[in-house]
Chain A
Amino acid sequence: MKKYKILLLAICLLTGFSACRKLDIPPKNIIQDPDVFGSPGGITAYMARIYSELPIEDFRYTPDMGLNFFWIIKPTSATTGEALSRDQTGSSSENFNDWHWDVWGGNYTTIHDCDYFIETLPKYASTFSAAQINAWLGEAYFIRGMTYFALVKRFGGVPIVNKVLNYTPGSSVTDLNVARASEQAVWDQVASDFDFAIANLPASNADNSDGSRANKYVAAAFKSRAMLYAGSIAKYNTITLFDGSKNQLCGIPASAAASYFQKAYDAAKLLDGAYSLYLSGWSATDKNAQYQNFVNLFSDAASKENVFVREYQYPNSVHGYDAYYVPRQLMGPNGYSSEVNPTLDFVEKFDGIPKNTNGTIKTLDANGNYLLFNNTMDIFANAEPRLRATVILPGDVFKGQNIEIRRGIYTGSASSGIGPLLPAGSKSQYPTTNLVVSSNSGQTAYTLPDGTLMNPAGLSGIFTGDQTCAISGFSVRKWLNPNLATSQVLENNETQTWIEMRYAEVLLNKAEAAIELQSLGQTSGISVSDPATIVNQIRSRAGANPLTGLATIDTVRAERRKELAFENKTYWDLKRWRIFNKEQNGTIYRVLMPFFSSQAGKYFFDQRTDERNDVYTYDSRWYYEQIPGGAISKSNNIIQNPGY
């Protein structure tokens, strides 16, 4: 026992006298500021992280599952009317309640990271050149502006936190509970962050000049997008919310609209001459070249149209766009396919399709019988090249295959023409008489009168028993990689570059801002024919019919929806124009069903509403999203948006 006492004393003496000598050393296992801010490599690492946090709606975004999540089976385009998807059955707000998207905490983490960088970098100014410091600060301001933009477009006014908040033990936390600023103040914050970035960033980012890191034009392009959004809110929003101090948390006074549209116009103008529409393979006379050019625009890294991109790299950063969205007959080993099926309403927006006077596709002859075609592509023979590059039409070629889309075989008499299967406007199921269909891809071939065999449905559908097929009669084409072998069409395996901002959008921002300014009586410095010139630049590249006369707000908006379809932009456009609830007001979207007549040996098309009868009704509350409950329970300075 005594032995132990001595030992214990010895240990106490040893530790007590010697160990305190030097405890105040930096922990070896934590990276310190000098490690990060002392070298370009450290700053690149910091940048890599805040860029990866940048809240953009890319290949890993859906409203239901949020940002940066691999599983994109409820696609954004199926919430906007661009497409139908078997997993999306109605209108939708964004879903912030799932564990994988902390929209509030996540964005404020990014803002904190930018604030920390902005506060800390100047302490290391002597290590770098002034140009380096300005460029890096410009990037941090750019990312902070983007993050406020992501918050304000969802929630309206949010807390503005432009310094690192530190809690000192014992002090009150009240100061840390920053209240929501007015919506207008947040848009102005977005503008001022972008202005700082425009003033300090170089014209070309020396580290990455391919558009994956910001330069001054990138900041200007996003400023034009943000200010157009703010102007639209000022002009079209009708929901208001004030806090106790009369700060307008939701909504902007209409009087501010013109100044925001002017900022959008001026910012877009900064890009004049710096970027251009992609025309590498384009030819004025060759529709096929126009089609191929529009396809290549999304994969050519050298495109001068790419303003800002997000790159992917296997295996560190990947997505699964093709795995979920390829047509059924090109399904990859994971067993997903055809999650995005463009609606007929969307397809009809394009030129080169035979149409009735009310704008719907012409499928009936003068006697009210179906028009007959040898091939399903015949009705689209003159379709606008941009449509073919955006949507796989029934019978078009992709990856060397005819994408076969057929609803069924009609076996009834065709000798005196085939009348409509259902009365116009009917939402009922198709009759079962005279119709051979397949419930799934395991098909039993039907023997045609000439003895040949034909599957009732096409290889890519449409099947009556499951929806793993082209349920609208179309499949999406944009962004799909034509060179990816089917065995490689896997989840978390794709690496196409996401183009978040392309010059076409900047041009359309400019045209829209110009028209809005004209409508508000602000015409100085803007030519009335400017918007039409821009629309025609876009249309000529697309192979669409040129606009005659002046552009209106409706023509510019329509052009935007065609040009930027399936790029997760229309969702935000419908929101800021405040027309989501008008377009989705008990709406059932329309589809185009190709049938083969065994008697006539030809195809006919039936247009009808979505056979599933899925009704889209947008709830006006969603223009301002619900602030997550967690944010409110942490601070009662955060007031919930109206209606939640």
Chain B
Amino acid sequence: MKKIFYYSALCLAIAAGSSCSKIDNDAAPSSTITGSTIDEGTGQTVQTEIGSGGTRVKLLETSYSANPVPIYFQSKQDGTFENTKVFAATYKVSVEGPFVPIVQTDNTGALLSDSSQNIVLKNTANLNFKVQPFLRVEWVGKPVVNADNSVTVQVRVTRGTANPNYVSDITDINLYVSNTQYDGSNNYDPRYSKLTSYSGSTGTALLGQVITLTTTGGSLPAQDVYFRVGARINAGLNEYNYNTPVLAAHQ
């Protein structure tokens, strides 16, 4: 009886030891996709926000299926993107964000244009997408600290596209205040940020003008503070276009 026990224990030990020796896994993804979303009018990258409300890259693995489930990754705030953990494969790549879509359809679903890029990814690929942002937000001068330690900034908002489907009225122009550079509609200090919504064409009338915005809530804290202005039209998922965050501090 005891013998049987030892034999079976040995068998179990062998089985346990051997069954793990063959790892049935693919190698971890190790290819890299880098690139940027570039405003075709200015040549600069299109600023966006971090998180799900900003630009993202869409990968379709077309060799696997004609109708693949898309894979997404988010762009960085400055409009560049990098993913170092992508499987080497065949991809149709596009970007989605606050700009005229890369893949455009009309109101019946018929394809109008598609400037997605097809790549066979092996090691690395660098992809630049030329797009037309809905709006361009530029700084006019630097933020000015006022006597009461509030801050006034000036910006100019212009359209980045003449495409008639994406020139609806401006709905919001917001001055975001944050204690980090990751400043945007999903990360700002509500005590000081100045949010303005527009109805009808009142916001659109500000296009091309120098717009002066001052923080609310009185004195800002005496620490590094980042400022950024976001503006949007009612298009797609109502994402914001931004200028670059700038740092201003008093004392």
Contact = CB atoms under 8 A, between A and B. Distances in A.
A586 B217 contact: no
A427 B110 contact: no
Contacts of A640: 69-70
Interface stretch (B12-20, B33-41, B75-83, B184-192): B184-192
A632 B69 contact: yes
Given A588-B190, A613-B191, A636 B110 contact: no
Interface string B172-195: 101000000000011000110101
Given A428-B217, A586-B185, A619 B105 contact: no
A615 B190 contact: yes
A640 B67 CA distance: 12
A621 interface: yes
B191 A427 contact: yes
Contact of A585 (B109, B197, B216, B217): B197
Contacts of B197: 582, 585
B237 A621 contact: yes
B25 interface: no
B108 interface: yes
Nearest to A643: B237
A105 interface: no
Nearest to A248: B109
Interface residues of B, number: 31
Contact of B237 (A244, A246, A620): A620
B68 interface: yes
A168 B39 CA distance: 55
A439 B1 CA distance: 72
Interface in B143-164: none
Given A617-B185, A643-B237, A425 B216 contact: yes
Nearest to B105: A242
Contacts of B70: 640
Contact of A636 (B67, B96, B234): B67
Contacts of B236: 239, 642
A642 to B, nearest CB: 7
A582 B234 CA distance: 10
Contacts of A248: 108-109
A246 B109 contact: yes
Interface in A398-441: 423, 425-428
Interface string B208-235: 0000000011100000000000000011
A253 B193 contact: no
A248 B110 CA distance: 11
Contacts of B195: 585-586
B174 A642 contact: no
A447 B138 CA distance: 59
B126 interface: no
Contacts of A247: 109
Nearest to A251: B107
Contacts of B216: 425, 427
Interface string A105-146: 000000000000000000000000000000000000000000
Given A585-B197, A586-B195, A621-B237, A246 B190 contact: no
A39 B172 CA distance: 63
Contacts of A582: 171, 197
B69 A586 contact: no
B193 to A, nearest CB: 7
B238 interface: yes
A290 interface: no
A617 B172 CA distance: 13
A640 B70 CA distance: 9
Contacts of B174: 586
A428 B185 contact: no
Given A246-B109, A248-B109, A428-B191, A636 B68 contact: yes
A581 interface: yes
A636 B65 CA distance: 10
Q: Which of B67, B109, B174, B234 has the most CB of A within 10 A?
A: B109
Contact of B69 (A425, A620, A636): A636
A426 B217 contact: yes
B190 A620 contact: no
Contacts of A613: 190-191
A32 interface: no
Contacts of B171: 582
A246 B108 contact: yes
Select the residue from A238, A428, A613 with max chain B CB neighbours within 10 A.
A238
Interface in B47-74: 52-53, 65, 67-70
B65 to A, nearest CB: 7
Interface in A585-644: 585-586, 588, 613, 615, 617, 619-621, 632-633, 636-637, 640, 642-643
A198 B168 CA distance: 43
Nearest to A179: B67
B237 A239 contact: yes
A240 interface: yes
A643 B56 CA distance: 9
B149 to A, nearest CB: 14
Contacts of A246: 108-110
A586 B105 contact: no
Given A246-B109, A253-B107, A642 B237 contact: yes
Interface string A227-263: 0000000000011101110111000010000000000
B36 to A, nearest CB: 21
Nearest to A238: B234
Given A585-B197, A586-B195, A620 B238 contact: yes
Nearest to A578: B234
A301 B13 CA distance: 70
Contacts of B65: 636
A415 B217 CA distance: 29
Interface in B84-106: 96, 105
Interface of A: 238-240, 242-244, 246-248, 253, 423, 425-428, 581-582, 585-586, 588, 613, 615, 617, 619-621, 632-633, 636-637, 640, 642-643
Given A239-B236, A427-B190, 6 more contacts: A242-B105, A582-B171, A617-B186, A619-B53, A619-B237, A636-B68
10 contacts: A238-B234, A242-B108, A244-B67, A423-B218, A428-B218, A617-B186, A621-B237, A632-B69, A633-B69, A637-B67
Interface of B: 52-53, 65, 67-70, 96, 105, 107-110, 171-172, 174, 185-186, 190-191, 193, 195, 197, 216-218, 234-238
Top 9 closest pairs, chain A to chain B, by CB = A242-B109, A246-B109, A620-B238, A586-B195, A427-B191, A643-B237, A615-B190, A620-B237, A613-B190
